[in-house]
Amino acid sequence: MLKDIATPNRTKEILKKYGFTFKKSLGQNFLIDTNILHRIVDHAEITEETGAIEIGPGIGALTEQLAKRAKKVLAFEIDQRLLPILADTLSPYSNAKVIHQDVLKADLKGTLEQEFENIEDLMVVANLPYYVTTPILMKLLEEQIPVRGIVVMLQKEVADRIAAKPGTKEYGSLSIAIQYYTEAETVMIVPKTVFNPQPNVDSAVIRLLRRPKPAVEVQDEAFFFQVVRASFGQRRKTILNNLVNNLPNGKQKKADIEQALSTAEIDPKRRGETLSIQEFGKLSDQLLKSFR
Ligand code: SAM
């Protein structure tokens, strides 16, 4: 029987057989520790009823572990050089399929509908390419693809920002953007030694469970996110100053902003980083009256 792909020796053998060289620009840091992979798949609660979606299969280390437990795995890989390798390494797994595509350009909804026709439970599981972590997560969430959740490896520093609570220095517009759609939790801190090559930064695995509906109901979603971004414009400034400086025509509308803060019962001297998602929701609905 073949050894798992994610062992230092088997990975070395595969890379050598195909003369593969890593492209740093594509965030290629492959996992070489089966134990870590098992734990990632455990956190995703994959069963034989689950359809798993992977972004960036590399040489198939995680794909293999997903294929062993899921009903089907669909993996998006941008690097053409990996396709013949994956055809080889994944040949024992008839339930694994690789699509050669930049996930950021993919029609995800259409593809998932087609590929997972009779599968209800969908989960994204990936060791993400770090240079595009945030755009990938935002695409998955904003396009509202019908998944139960997302379990991904990423930079620890980004995981800290995503899962941050109000009143901490990590809390910001990324925390709110992600927690608006999901319940976020860091489930593992991962040492550099489990990758080949080792990345320059520390890593973590985060679990995002999709909320049945967003964390707060707002009248205008795009405006809500505009208010959030404006509030974090300069972190050391008060919420009032940030809104005045960063909302369109904020200076002329200072009195309206003060009024909206007062109606939403938010002290204008507070900083954006202390406001909960619910408070941002209340505030954006009040501000909408004068910014519509
Ligand atoms: N899953 C493998 C593992 O854990 O060993 C590889 C993970 S590696 C961190 C990231 C993978 O994503 C690489 O295979 C890279 O080629 C691929 N990738 C990078 N950008 C991508 C994109 N925009 N769309 C799809 N795949 C991408």
pLDDT band at 3 (very low <50, low <70, confident <90, very high): confident
Q: Find the 184 Cα to ligand 1 centroid distance in Å.
A: 22
Residue 3, domain member (yes or no):
no
Alpha carbon nearest to ligand 1 atom 11, residue: 56
User: Does the annotation place 60 within a ligand binding site?
Assistant: no
Residue 255, domain member (yes or no):
yes
Instruction: Provide the H-helix boundaries in the chain.
Output: 8-18, 34-43, 61-69, 83-89, 108-115, 133-142, 156-162, 173-181, 221-231, 239-246, 254-263, 277-291
Q: Find the 218 Cα to ligand 1 centroid distance in Å.
A: 35
CATH number at residue 281: 1.10.8.100
pLDDT, tens digit, 9 for 90 and up, residues 57-74? 999 999 999 999 999 999
Residue 216, domain member (yes or no):
no
Residue 189, domain member (yes or no):
yes
Determine whether the shortest distance from the Cβ of 5 to ligand 1 is under 6 A. no
DSSP string, 135-168: HHHHHHHHTT-S-SEEEEEEEHHHHHHHTPPTTS
What is the distance between the alpha carbons of residues 257 and 250, in angstroms, rounded to a whole number? 8
Question: What is the extent of the structural domain holding 273?
Answer: 221-291
Residue 215, domain member (yes or no):
no
Residue 1, domain member (yes or no):
no
Determine whether the shortest distance from the Cβ of 132 to ligand 1 is under 6 A. yes
Q: Do 190 and 55 share a domain, yes or no? A: yes
What is the distance between the alpha carbons of residues 230 and 284, in angstroms, rounded to a whole number? 11
Q: Do 201 and 262 share a domain, yes or no? A: no
160, 201 contact by CB (below 8 A)? no
pLDDT, tens digit, 9 for 90 and up, residues 26-52? 999 999 999 999 999 999 999 999 999
pTM of the model: 0.96
Q: Do 190 and 93 share a domain, yes or no? A: yes
Q: Do 167 and 268 share a domain, yes or no? A: no
The ipTM is 0.99
Domains identified in the chain, total number: 2
Determine whether the shortest distance from the Cβ of 60 to ligand 1 is under 6 A. no
